[in-house]
Amino acid sequence: MKLACIEAIAPGLTLKEKCENLERIGFEGIEIWAGSGGPELEQEIKAVATGSRVKPCSVMVVNEAFQQPLDSEEAMQAKAAATRETLRLAAAIGAVGMLVPEYGPQLPPPILPLFPLGEDKRGLLLRLVEEAGRYAEESGAILVLEPLNRYETSLFHTLDEAVAICKEVGIPNVKIMADLFQMIIEERDIAESLKRAGEYIRHIHLSDSGRMLPGYGNIDFKATFAALKEIGYDGYMALECAVSGNAEDELRKCVEYLRGCMP
């Protein structure tokens, strides 16, 4: 298992500075969120990665389609276009490409048990994942689906639900990612959910409860890492959380804490 960090919280002003600082702190990967996946960004990432032990591990193109509800053919096509851009860049830099089909506050908040997804919306979701998955196959990329909690999306919320989508679509290049912040809200048992998802997991987001740095909340990271070891996960785990105080000091303490939790 390799530790990574999202670009947004990595100390430094440029991608080169961020990778240099992350390498010094003890990270092995960086996750990139981009407004576009054009050739200039691809060239910059490749140039930086060539001279660093910190490698690009995951990427997502985040634009207006990201927050648009998945409620129409037009919305589905906009999300598919952004995902193709993500996957093109992912294939070029050797990273996994992430897909969040819908993100935004749910109003009213769904406190009561969730209703099944309507057939129209489910159909759009499956078409989006299938179209993106076919492009992933063609480009040689891996597409990972991220389940979000019920307050951020109406689509799918648990690892089991994400795996079910992968199985229904039936494309080997479509996998899932596990975000511990999402999981502590939606999963009964984080470790058991990870074990059930098994080989479908191709990326991890690390944070503690409340999006705090690991070690400041109530997630059992020793049990989490033991479950990942049991399923043979050896990929990247990227910090996606808030950092208060001096970023370098806090990230260094976090790396020490996480490595101390690994079996």
Cα separation, 141 vs 87, in Å, equals 6
pLDDT digits (tens, 9 = 90+) for 161-186: 999 999 999 999 999 999 999 999 99
Query: 224 and 256 in contact (C-beta within 8 Å)?
Result: no
Task: Give me the residue spans of the domains in the chain.
Answer: 2-261
Q: Write out the two tokens for 245.
A: 């105080």
Instruction: Supply the pLDDT for residue 108.
Output: 67
**Helix, strand or coil, per DSSP, at residue 2:** strand
| Given 20, 42, 240, 250, the catalytic residue | 240
| Given 146, 186, 187, 250, the catalytic residue | 146
Question: Is 80 exceeded by the pLDDT of residue 230?
Answer: yes
The architecture (CATH level 2) of 2-261 comes to: Alpha-Beta Barrel (3.20)
Instruction: Supply the pLDDT for residue 113.
Output: 60
Cα separation, 122 vs 126, in Å, equals 6
Q: Write out the two tokens for 145.
A: 């689906």
Instruction: Supply the pLDDT for residue 65.
Output: 87
Instruction: Supply the pLDDT for residue 114.
Output: 64
Question: Is 70 exceeded by the pLDDT of residue 234?
Answer: yes
pLDDT digits (tens, 9 = 90+) for 57-116: 999 998 888 888 899 999 999 999 999 999 999 999 999 999 999 888 776 677 766 666
Q: Is 192 a catalytic residue?
A: no
Instruction: Supply the pLDDT for residue 142.
Output: 97
Mean pLDDT of 228-238: 97
Q: Is 102 a catalytic residue?
A: no
Q: What is the pTM of this model?
A: 0.93
Instruction: Supply the pLDDT for residue 17.
Output: 96
Kindly provide the residue ranges of all beta strands, DSSP E only, lying in the chain, ordered along the sequence: 2-6, 29-34, 55-61, 96-99, 143-145, 174-179, 201-206, 236-239
